[in-house]
Each structure stands twice: as C-alpha cells, then as structure tokens.
Structure 1
Amino acid sequence: MPNLPKISHLRVFEAIILHGSVRAAAKALNQTQPGITRTLKELETTLGATLMVRGTRGMVLTDMGRLFETRMKFVLNELERAVDEIKQVNQSQHGTVSFGCSHLKTLSIIPSVMQRIHKMYPKAQISLYEGQQSELLPSLRVGRLDFFIGIISEEISLGEFVEEPLLSCPFGVIARKGHPLANSTSLAELRNAKWYLPVAGAGYYHDLELFLFPEGKGPENAIFKGDSIAVGERLVLEADYLVIGPLAMLDIDFVNKLFCTIPVKEKLPDGHYSLLYRQDSSLTPLAKHLINEIRIECGKQVIQRVN
C-alpha cells in the first residue's frame, strides 16, 4: 500500500486554500506559520509533487495541486459524513423508543427485528405496547408512542398521521391441535364455541364479530376479550378457546406444533397492516432504524408467501 497523507496534512492544505496564505491558515488552525509550512512540505513529499507556490497575492495552486484539491475535498467530506453517522449511532445506543403493535403480529415480526436492532443499539431502551389501533391511537396522538404497526381502521380519522402500508395477511380461525371442533368446516358449527378476541372499539376485530356470527351466537357461546398473548395462549391450550389471527403465525415452529387452523369454508377478511406515525413529529435515528428493520421483515414475509 502506498504511503498515504495524514488527515492533519489534508486539513492544513484545505485551510491554506480557504484562507489564501500560510499566515492566515496558521491563525485559523491555531498553529505556528513554520508548523503549517512544515506540514505542507510533508504532504508534498508524501505525494511526490509540488501542490502550491507563492504568488503575489499569497499561495497559488499548481496543476497538481488543483488535481489533488478535488480528491481531497471528497475524502474529507466522506470522512465527516462517516463521523456524523457514527455519532448518531452512539447517541441512539443510549436513546429510547416506544411503539405499539398488534399483539398477534408481534409473534412473527418483532423477535427477528429486535435481534438485529440490539446488535447495533445494545444500550437502547425499547418499549413495546400490545394492542389494536383504537386502543393505542390516543397514546400515539399525545406522543407517548413514536409509531404504531397494526391493522388500520377506515372508521378512524388519521388526518394528523402518516400511514404507510406494510403487508396484507390472510386470517383464519386458530385452535389447539386436537380441539373437538378442529375439523369443523363452517362458522355455523362454531356458534357455541368459546372465543378469545382482542379489545377493539373499532376496526377489524370490532367488525369481525358480525362476520363470525351472522346468525347470532349460540346459547353456549362465550367471548373473552383481552390483549395478552400469554393469556390467550393458555386459554387456547388449556380451556379450548378459539382465536382469530394471521395464518402466518403457523409458520413459526413452536406455534405450528401446538396450534392448527380450523378449515371453515368462509374466507375471513384479510388483515391489512400499516405503519402509523405523527406528521408533526421528527423520528429519532433509533426509531427510523427500527422502522426500517420492520419494513425489511415485512418484505421477507411477503416474499415467503409468494414463493
């Protein structure tokens, strides 16, 4: 590898060009004139070329000096940009971000995202709040949450937000393997089942009850509402409750071993997931990076379904 100039050489060369003389460059860099002259000579020796000569109005670039100036500015700009990026990452390592996410989607997206994020931002404090749009939107409006990912309802005004569609997922009825109703082929056969459904004042899950029970609920029907994955899992496995969720959940190994889809003939509405954040708020570098990782993970799921 050839002997390369030092950053201090480039800074001095840049200062002489900017200020027009060795004396002015020395004053700007808080160095002595002999020191500036010595550094310039070291740079010229390293390059094997004369970069500047004294003129009637100060230092003047030679042809080789003008050639080197262009490259030198590019190198310094790139180094400054790299330093800025590193500083942003270091600051983000100590930063915080809070976001909301549909509790069912957290199973398939968030684990992989968190794994990658914590490698780059090991000191970051990240808070996840599970729930549906109608429940978490107030927190997003007042700034308690940086962003939300979930199924977006057309019934709710989103004028102050930016909405970015991420992916659409087919939904189905999910039960434990071996459930007495596991082989049912219509929703009518599930009228008397027990259901665990998310709390939702509007949107997908709010409208879903009308779809699930078009002829009304059966006399033994029971609906328990909540937003806890842990509670839902125990209810399904130990109390024979049914849930509605994205079929992509069953692509996760431990979920596939314990749960199954009930093959009803009725096609449930797809869930359309979007990213939501406030228009009047600047996202931190950490939040932007987290969002980008979520976009990447959603893109992977889309590709997997296509293949």
Structure 2
Amino acid sequence: MTFEIQHLKAFTTVVASGSLGRAALALNVTQPALSRTIHKLEEVAGAPLFERHSKGMQLTPIGQALLPHAQLLQREAELANEEIKAMLGLAKGTIRVGSVGSIACSVLPQAIGATCRAWPQLQVHVIEGVWDRLAEALVSHEIDLALGVATDDGDEIEAVKDCRWEDTSYVVASMDHGLRQHVGLRLADTMAERWAILPKGTAPFEDMKALFTRHGLPLPNVVVQTRSVTVLKSLVCHSGFLGWMPEPMFDTERRAGLMGVLPMPNASDRRTLTAFRRRQGLMPAPAVKLLEELRKLTAMPAG
C-alpha cells in the first residue's frame, strides 16, 4: 500500500472543505478530476473513505483512521522540501518554536538574533504559552522546538539534555506598593493582598503554591488567574496586585522602574529550564540552527 502525497493533499482538502466542489476550488482543479483522485486513493486504501451525501462528504471509519496519518505525511513532506531548498539557498527556511513567557522575554530573542545573523534567509514563527499548549503544538508538528520548565519526558516528546539553564522566580510588586514601607516584611504579610498569577495547573502556579506551603501558609488572596503575561504585568505595575514571576519576565519593567522584587527572606525559587523535541523523526535544519545557538547561550552540564 503506497500513498501519493498529492492524493493525500486532495483527501485532506476535501475533509477541510466538506465538499468536492469547495475542495476543487481550493485546489484549482475541476471537480471530476478531484473525484478521480479520491477514487484512486480509495483504491489504494481498499475501502471507501467518504460517504457521499447531498449536503457534502463525511468520513467513513477508514477515512477517519487515515486522516491523521495523511496530515502527518503531508507535513513531513513539506518540511523536507523546505529544508532542502533552504540548504540549497533556493528558499527561506522557517524556524517554528514555542516558549513559555520568561524564555520568550530573554533567552529566545538572543538565540533568534544570533541564528538570523548567521542564516539571514531564515524566517521565524514563535508561539508563546504555558506548557500544555506548547506540548500539544510540538506533538502536532505546529512547532519543532519547545522551550519550557524541565519535566519528565513523555511518550512523544523528550528534553534536549545538553540545553538546560536556570532562572529564579520572586514575589513582585510595583515600586510604589504599600508593602514596601513595611519593616521586616515576611511572606505571611502578603496573604491579604490581591494577587494575579498564571492559572492553576501551570508550573508557576504550582511553584508558588509550594513556596507558601514551605512557609506553612495556604494560598494567598488570588483574585486574577490568566495565561496572559501582558495582563499579569499590567496588573502588578498599574493596579496594585502582587505577582509571582521569574526574573527575565519582568526585567524590562524593572529597568523602567515600574515593578521589582518585593524583598522578603526565603521568598524565591529556582527552576531548571530546557528545550524539548519530538522523539520520532529528524528535527528540521532551521530548528537545529536555533538549538545550536540556545546551547551556546545556556551551556550547563546535564545532571
């Protein structure tokens, strides 16, 4: 059983379009020609892939089973074509990377800058998010490299062991926050203040919860939970909220005198960060180039 990429592209386009007519327009072919292509694919599969209805096309169980494989094969073919052209200087390659907020504010821009200076034909697509979003994007081939907090390897993704570094998280507040006037400030003094943090289930939330637990305290008055780093920093800088952030995330605001660490004993936490890749398949050359720069910037012996 051998599938042709063009046949698979026709198949996935029909699925996305919902009908032969709309798919034919998208592919710039005639409807009879597209119908013949689908028929050839069904012959290779040995079973119908669609049920034809007056309102469109619906996948059969065989079609549903084929769909994720067809999408993956197309993506791999596109990556291979893009990588070869980039190496030959015939076209721009694309780095597809995802990152948690603190890395996106510091290490990643430095690595991208160095990579693009060395390979000026490359383009970069970046998504920023919390780990569950990045892991999903890595598995689905939306990105080829994910940067986040070190965690156990999964069935489909694994850490790049020689690309690791650390940062430190702190309790942060605006520079004019009232708690800065307290003498001998302790973590317990923040309990009644309004807090804005990343949501429950994210690594920063769990790290902050662990910090309060070590001090024998419950969680403080968490008023806002959001995945938006911009919202978090704005609430801290301009609305009197306290936050829990790794230092690189608020470095720009610290330099501008808008927010900074709230000085308290034993109220910080170090964490290890790393790059992740898919277990299966080769990493595209553009992503390898970025990874090389990340290794230079974050050189740290694997433990």
Category of TM-score, reference length = shorter chain: 0.5 to 0.7
Divergent runs of 4+, >6 A: none
In the alignment, what sits opposite 1:228?
A: 228
Aligned residue for 2:89?
90
The CA distance in 2 between the partners of 1:95 and 1:103, in whole Å, is: 25
Query: What RMSD in Å do the two structures reach over aligned CA positions?
Result: 3.0
Q: What does residue range 12-23 of structure 1 map to in structure 2 within 5 Å?
A: none
How far apart in 2 are the matches of 1:144 and 1:224? 30
TM-score, scaled to structure 1: 0.59
Query: Retained in 2: the 8 A contact 1:103–1:228?
Result: no
Indicate the SS of the match to 1:241: coil
Distance (Å, rounded) in 1 between the aligned partners of 2:245 and 2:219: 20
Task: Write the letter of the residue equivalent to 1:134.
Answer: D
From the superposition, tell whether residues 96 and 280 of structure 1 become closer, same or farther in structure 2 (CA, over 3 Å): same
Measured after TM superposition, the shift of residue 246 of structure 1 is 2.4
Taking a change above 3 Å as real, the CA distance of residues 200 and 94 of structure 1, as seen in their structure-2 partners, is farther
Displacement after TM superposition at 1:287 (Å) = 0.5
**Alignment-derived partner of residue 168 in structure 1:** 166
Percent identity (aligned): 18
In structure 2, what is the Cα distance between the partners aligned to 1:224 and 1:146? 32
Q: 1:114 to 1:182 in 2, by over 3 A?
A: farther
Q: Which residue of 1 aligns with 2:129?
A: 131
Q: Distance between the aligned counterparts of 1:224 and 1:171, measured in 2?
A: 18
Structure 1 position 272, deviation (Å): 0.8
Paired amino acid for 1:216: P
Unaligned runs of 5+ in 2: 1-83
- Deviations along 1:23-44, one digit per CA (max 9) or x if unpaired, are xxxxxxxxxxxxxxxxxxxxxx
* Residue equivalent to 1:16: none
Whether contact under 8 Å (2:196, 2:243) holds in the other structure is yes
Question: By how many angstroms is 1:200 displaced?
Answer: 5.3
User: Does the C-alpha gap of structure 1 residues 282 and 227 become closer, same or farther in structure 2, counting only changes over 3 Å?
Assistant: same
In 1: Cα distance, 2:158 partner to 2:219 partner: 38
Give the whole-Å Cα distance in 2 for the aligned partners of 1:159 and 1:152.
15
Length, aligned pairs only: 212
**Deviation of 1:111 (Å):** 2.5
Letter in 1 for 2:259: F
Mark the CA change 1:199 to 1:291 in structure 2 (over 3 Å): closer, same or farther.
Answer: farther
Q: Normalising to structure 2: TM-score of the pair?
A: 0.60
Pairing partner for 1:104 from 102, 105, 108: 102
Give SS of 1:283's match.
Answer: coil
Aligned residue in 2 for 1:80: none
Question: Quick one: distance in 2 between partners of 1:97 and 1:135?
Answer: 18
Amino acid at match of 1:215: L
**Equivalent residue number for residue 217 of structure 2:** 215
- Counterpart of 1:78 in structure 2 is none
Report the CA distance shift for 1:87/1:239 in structure 2 as closer, same or farther (over 3 A): closer
Distance 1:247 1:122, change over 3 A: same
- Residue equivalent to 1:180: 178
Matched, 1:244 2:240: no
- Correspondence list, 1:253-272, <5 A: 255=255, 257-272=257-272
Corresponding residue for residue 144 of structure 1: 142
Query: Measured at CA, do residues 192 and 217 of structure 1 come closer, stay the same or move farther in structure 2, by a change above 3 Å?
Result: farther
1:250 & 1:234 partners in 2: Cα distance? 11
| Structure of larger gyration radius | 1
Is 2:85–2:93's contact at 8 Å kept on the other side of the alignment?
no
Task: After TM superposition, list the pairs within 5 Å mapping 1:288-299 onto structure 2.
Answer: 288-299=288-299
AA in 2 matched with 1:158: G
CA distance in 2, matches of 1:291, 1:183: 45
Could you tell me whether the CA contact under 8 Å between 2:144 and 2:287 is conserved in 1?
A: yes
Q: 1:109 to 1:224 in 2, by over 3 A?
A: same
